[in-house]
Chain A
């Protein structure tokens, strides 16, 4: 788990005292990542803006809600963003069965061998891919968004998702298999 930097902690202290410059610095530092995460998780710009707003409002109203012992500010903000996104989408993680172990891969075995992506045009591909990402179950989508779209390491993503890097790798593997399967189904339908 990433440790909070002294700079971030000092910024938060200043922010809690009402220093607007400190708030602007924190906002500029994290809003992009929070916004993109919410956007890819929800597929909706308005929802992403709302989520970003809620995350930073939480920081404004309750800056002492952040505990440096529990991780970095980024982890704290992403934690809020995850909760807000889940709530917005009415898709609690508990409802989704997870298979982080090696079992259950046969379902996606066919998809692994398909090479459907070459046959789609760029626009079609992006639209189909966006839909496919949105159709993924939440935890798998989180892994794809953080590791593939935000290009975070397994370690960083594990810190944000509060699980082990191995779990992140497993979820990502399954998520990519699901994506390929969904894309191949779409290609067949076409």
Chain B
């Protein structure tokens, strides 16, 4: 506050006193309602901020979970593709190579007739068949032979088909030994 000389500036003193009275005669504070309203606005603002933060965090967590699920699915798809490729690679003609399963199935059905639809496409192992042989040592040849010839080879062909010419796929080794046979027609 500045100092005023009351003798030299009496009007200044009066003005200061009047201003002081004006200040003290005016309301000193905002209404209590305003304080309550602002406190409520404060609560509302922070409640909404918390909600927004929660929604944002939930959305972020959901996005993260989705990304992880997608990544896992992608990885599974890659593994599946790789395993399929691995299964397909060693046997270029899986239906034409006598697998162990096929051989067992063929063994079980050796006594059945060739007209059985379930066995029509299965190779039947012959006496020389060795499960330890790798597919690279084998090849499939399609031949038309008489039923009698096929029966001599070990194929389960009935007596009634001895004179008939039959189309057959024969799995042979590199040395020409027949290991399995499948009657095609």
A residues near B42, Cβ cutoff 8 Å: 20, 23, 60
* Cα separation A180 to B10 with both chains bound (whole Å): 12
Q: Which of A66-74, A98-106, A110-118 contacts B (4 or more CB under 8 A)?
A: A110-118
B residues near A36, Cβ cutoff 8 Å: 23, 26-28
Which of A27, A45, A126 has a CB less than 8 Å from the CB of B25?
A: A126
Inter-subunit contact B23/A149 (CB<8 Å): yes
For the complex, is A77 an interface residue (Cβ under 8 Å from B)? no
Inter-subunit contact B23/A35 (CB<8 Å): no
For the complex, is B85 an interface residue (Cβ under 8 Å from A)? no
* Cα separation A28 to B22 with both chains bound (whole Å): 23
For the complex, is B68 an interface residue (Cβ under 8 Å from A)? no
For the complex, is B58 an interface residue (Cβ under 8 Å from A)? no
Q: How far is the CB of A62 from chain B (nearest CB, A)?
A: 10
For the complex, is B7 an interface residue (Cβ under 8 Å from A)? no
Chain B, 23-39, CB within 8 A of any chain A CB: 23, 25-31, 34-35, 37-39
* Cα separation A125 to B16 with both chains bound (whole Å): 12
Which of A24, A40, A122 has a CB less than 8 Å from the CB of B26?
A: A40
Q: How far is the CB of B46 from chain A (nearest CB, A)?
A: 4
A residues near B12, Cβ cutoff 8 Å: 176
Chain B, 140-162, CB within 8 A of any chain A CB: none
For the complex, is A52 an interface residue (Cβ under 8 Å from B)? yes
A113-132 interface mask toward B, CB cutoff 8 Å, 1 = contact, 0 = none? Answer: 11111100010011001100
For the complex, is B55 an interface residue (Cβ under 8 Å from A)? no
Inter-subunit contact B35/A27 (CB<8 Å): yes
Inter-subunit contact A57/B30 (CB<8 Å): no
Report if A114-B19 is in contact (Cβ < 8 Å); known contacts: A23-B42, A49-B30, A57-B41. no
* Cα separation A49 to B30 with both chains bound (whole Å): 6
Inter-subunit contact A48/B39 (CB<8 Å): no
Inter-subunit contact B45/A39 (CB<8 Å): no
Which of B14, B16, B26 has a CB less than 8 Å from the CB of A39?
A: B26
A144-161 interface mask toward B, CB cutoff 8 Å, 1 = contact, 0 = none? Answer: 100111110110000000
For the complex, is A84 an interface residue (Cβ under 8 Å from B)? no
* Cα separation A35 to B22 with both chains bound (whole Å): 15
A residues near B86, Cβ cutoff 8 Å: none
Inter-subunit contact A23/B39 (CB<8 Å): yes
A12-31 interface mask toward B, CB cutoff 8 Å, 1 = contact, 0 = none? Answer: 00000010100110011001
Give B residues with C-beta under 8 Å from A. Answer: 1-2, 10-12, 14-16, 18-23, 25-31, 34-35, 37-39, 41-43, 45-46, 49-50
6 residue pairs, one from A and one from B, having the closest CB atoms: A18-B46, A117-B14, A149-B23, A35-B30, A148-B19, A52-B30
What are 30 A-B pairs with beta-carbon distances under 8 A? A18-B49, A20-B46, A23-B39, A24-B35, A31-B34, A31-B35, A32-B28, A35-B28, A35-B30, A36-B26, A36-B28, A40-B26, A49-B30, A53-B34, A53-B37, A57-B38, A57-B41, A113-B11, A117-B14, A117-B18, A125-B18, A133-B22, A147-B2, A149-B26, A151-B23, A154-B2, A169-B2, A176-B15, A179-B15, A180-B11
Give A residues with C-beta under 8 Å from B. Answer: 18, 20, 23-24, 27-28, 31-32, 34-36, 39-40, 45, 48-49, 52-53, 56-57, 60-61, 112-118, 122, 125-126, 129-130, 133, 144, 147-151, 153-154, 169, 172, 176, 179-180
